[in-house]
Chains A and B, each alone.
Chain A
Amino acid sequence: MQPCFLAATDLACRRGDRVLFRAVSFALGPGAALHLAGPNGVGKSSLIRIVAGLLRPFAGAVERTGGLALADERLALDAGLPLSKALGFWTRFDASAEADHAIRVLGLADLLDVPVRYLSTGQRKRAVLARTVASGAPVWLLDEPLNGLDTASGAAVEALVAAHCTGGGIALIASHQPFALSGLERLELAQFVPEFV
């Protein structure tokens, strides 16, 4: 795994007229995982998108070394193609060799011939995670990775993240659900909501 590092300093996010959170700081080295917790609308997804560089922070800065992989609610898989071809596009794009492993662990082997648009919610989520794992990037940004997954698939995802961190990767997990992972730090985003004066 390539060397990786992810740090945020004094991040603030504004959506419209409202400051969602401010003064969020964290630093993650190889093998570290952080759980962004908080109720709906507190800004977990916005923080993930800021860290991903897709959204400009209102204040603060993100520092990162190592490639990024993002799993959010957007599939980024061609709906009309069979799952194997849709995932294959990204495997070739990332020149990655980890796709087979991800497909096996996430139980997608039987679904490879099924067009993406016929997949159920949980199957879609697993496909997104397979794309993320297959990217081979050391920094994973997972937005609600357990949404729509059954217990067995949820455990498989938790095991995948555990293996990723043991291998020296970084995981940033935004979720309102508990996420079982040893050494998982927790950041309550609700504590960073500015108080109204």
Chain B
Amino acid sequence: MNRLALLLRRDLGHLLRGGQGRGGATLPLLFFLSVAMLFPFAVGSDAQLLARTGAGVIWVAALLAAILPLDRLVEPDIESGFFDQWALRGMAEEAVLAVRILAHWLSFGPPLMLAALPAAALLGLDGAQLRAVELGLLAGTPGLAAIGVTIAALTAGLRSGAALGGLLTIPLAVPLLIFGAGSLRPGGENGLALLAAASLAALAIAPFAGGAAIRALRE
């Protein structure tokens, strides 16, 4: 079997199933749904207010849910020598990370888009808003995955890297959040285009930044 396909299968198995003592793909999902469920309790059941702010809440919840699996994206494989073994076999860190971004996205992007359906119901969004949210998540979550893997590679090997990773991800993800939430307003197609562009830029940079970080860690 093709080496990249093997890597993707292993990564997906890891991220969906979760390691020892760490939740798999269900944890970010439950977190996302909890936020959508708690928000109406906190601000009250005013349908107009919920409809106006709900889509933005979905975006914040999606961003924070993407941070949850950061500490098991890259660090364990560096710790246990997988990256060394791949390097020995002539496998570029960049290729490994590109596959990992895809696996990370598959493990949280599509599930999040599914969970956005009940979340939209809980927040009282109408059909047009839901459509905008789903399109935005489709365009934005790949960028979140890329940023997540980059930060995971950069903070691997640091003490309290997981907490630091969360803090570092938030500012980098702000453009995605702004364009994502911006695309929800009437006539927000431009926001969607900018969101996709920001997402693509993150995807293009991520494997190289992460690869350099992993190589620097060996010194």
**A residues adjacent to B (C-beta < 8 A):** 49, 52-56, 67-70, 72, 74-80, 89-90, 92-94, 117
Contact = CB atoms under 8 A, between A and B. Distances in A.
Contact of B81 (A69, A72, A80, A117): A72
A76 B14 contact: no
A54 B84 contact: yes
8 contacts: A49-B218, A56-B219, A75-B80, A76-B84, A80-B19, A89-B6, A92-B1, A117-B20
B82 A76 contact: yes
Contacts, number: 51
A70 B1 contact: no
A74 B76 CA distance: 11
A79 B14 CA distance: 11
A70 B82 CA distance: 11
- Central interface residue in B20, B81, B84, B85, by most chain A CB within 10 Å: B85
B42 interface: no
Contacts of A72: 81, 84
Contacts of B88: 52-54, 68-70
Interface of B: 1, 3, 6, 10, 14, 17, 19-20, 79-82, 84-85, 87-89, 218-219
A74 B80 contact: yes
Nearest to A73: B81
Contacts of B85: 70, 76, 90
Given A54-B84, A56-B219, A70-B84, 19 more contacts: A52-B84, A53-B87, A67-B89, A68-B88, A68-B89, A69-B88, A74-B79, A74-B81, A74-B84, A75-B81, A76-B80, A78-B14, A79-B80, A80-B17, A89-B6, A90-B85, A92-B1, A94-B89, A117-B20
Nearest to B20: A80
A25 to B, nearest CB: 22
A76 B20 contact: no
Contact of B10 (A54, A89, A94): A89
A93 B84 CA distance: 14
Contacts of B14: 78
A93 B89 contact: yes
Contacts of A49: 218
- Central interface residue in B10, B19, B88, B89, by most chain A CB within 10 Å: B88
A69 B17 CA distance: 29
A53 B85 CA distance: 11
A137 to B, nearest CB: 8
Contacts of A53: 87-88
A179 B87 CA distance: 28
A54 B80 CA distance: 15
Contacts of A75: 80-81
Contacts of B3: 93
Contacts of A55: 218-219
Contact of B87 (A54, A67, A74): A54
A100 B218 CA distance: 32
Contacts of A94: 89
